[in-house]
Chain A
């Protein structure tokens, strides 16, 4: 995304679109305009930290009273906890429940990062493949190492379909190996791509509404366009949740494969 500035200039000189739906994903230092080093505090840092603060607020402060009749915040925490716990038990099986803290952390972090990103003027860290790839490849590494640790070489049975005809098994094994190593890529790109696409679409509609207003028919089209933004925003709230859900449930599926590699 660092080439964005010269691309924007290029689009202007070519007489292209006057708005840039992808500019909202630019990483900028929070203070000053210096070069971005690994320790520079950027807008990504800010919104990642805000997500962490919001999580602490809801789950630590909200449930610290532990009332018999829960307050609103406490019941939010309870609902989220039991939701993820049921998901882990259903998909990864009973012995997967040991890894519930990991799954819960992933779910809550992605959900809060997505939801905070929907605030107008905010920045969504999960739109960056760099952020989601760390999550995706982290899960992939963890799950692979766990499978190798638990089952040793039997873990490779994941790729060797023992109930397929013998002639087909090497071919299936090749396909299985490829699909296994594509997993972290699709896992991380799915999250980043979905959120990025949604935010870009909202920006396109938001720029379209004032642009069409200048022309004659704009008085009729602009209200429709604004209504469409509202509808898309509602859809994005849904997507923010569903993508967090999908990311965690796929983590559970991969975890199940590591715990029970036999087909």
Chain B
């Protein structure tokens, strides 16, 4: 295997590895939403005022998944 082939192979393997981050972000987003729901069902009257916090939490968890997606895209199309 020459160097160019190895580089191309590594590119795709790296992009696949970066995609694991998206799965991890999915766990994080699910955690945020699930815990919000668990709390909201215990005290539904307080849930309405916390939706803004919910979305901020979702956004922070999701951003890191997007970063790994971006790394995958960079490896596939820019490197």
Contact = CB atoms under 8 A, between A and B. Distances in A.
A90 B56 CA distance: 13
Contact of A3 (B52, B56, B63, B78): B78
A34 to B, nearest CB: 25
Interface string B60-77: 001100110110010001
A245 B55 CA distance: 8
B59 interface: yes
Interface string A63-98: 000000000000000000000000100110000000
A249 B55 contact: yes
Contacts of B56: 246, 249-250, 253
A4 B55 CA distance: 34
A7 B52 contact: no
A193 interface: yes
Q: Name the prevailing secondary structure of the B interface residues.
A: helix
Of B8, B58, B66, B78, most buried by chain A (CB within 10 Å of CB) is: B66
Nearest to A187: B63
Contacts of A186: 63, 67
Identify which of A4, A22, A186 gathers the most chain B CB atoms within 10 Å of its CB.
Answer: A186
Contacts of A249: 52, 55-56, 59
Interface residues of B, number: 16
B69 A193 contact: yes
Interface string A216-255: 0000000000000000000000000010011001100100
Given A186-B63, A197-B69, A91 B77 contact: no
A190 B66 contact: yes
A194 interface: yes
B59 A246 contact: yes
A197 B49 CA distance: 30
A87 B69 contact: no
B20 to A, nearest CB: 16
A250 B58 CA distance: 12
Contacts of A110: none
A150 to B, nearest CB: 23
A194 B52 contact: no
A190 B59 contact: yes
Contacts of A7: 77
Contacts of B69: 193, 197
9 contacts: A22-B77, A186-B63, A190-B59, A190-B63, A193-B63, A246-B55, A246-B56, A249-B56, A253-B56
Interface of A: 3-4, 7, 14, 22, 87, 90-91, 186, 189-190, 193-194, 197, 242, 245-246, 249-250, 253
Interface of B: 8, 49, 52, 55-56, 58-59, 62-63, 66-67, 69-70, 73, 77-78
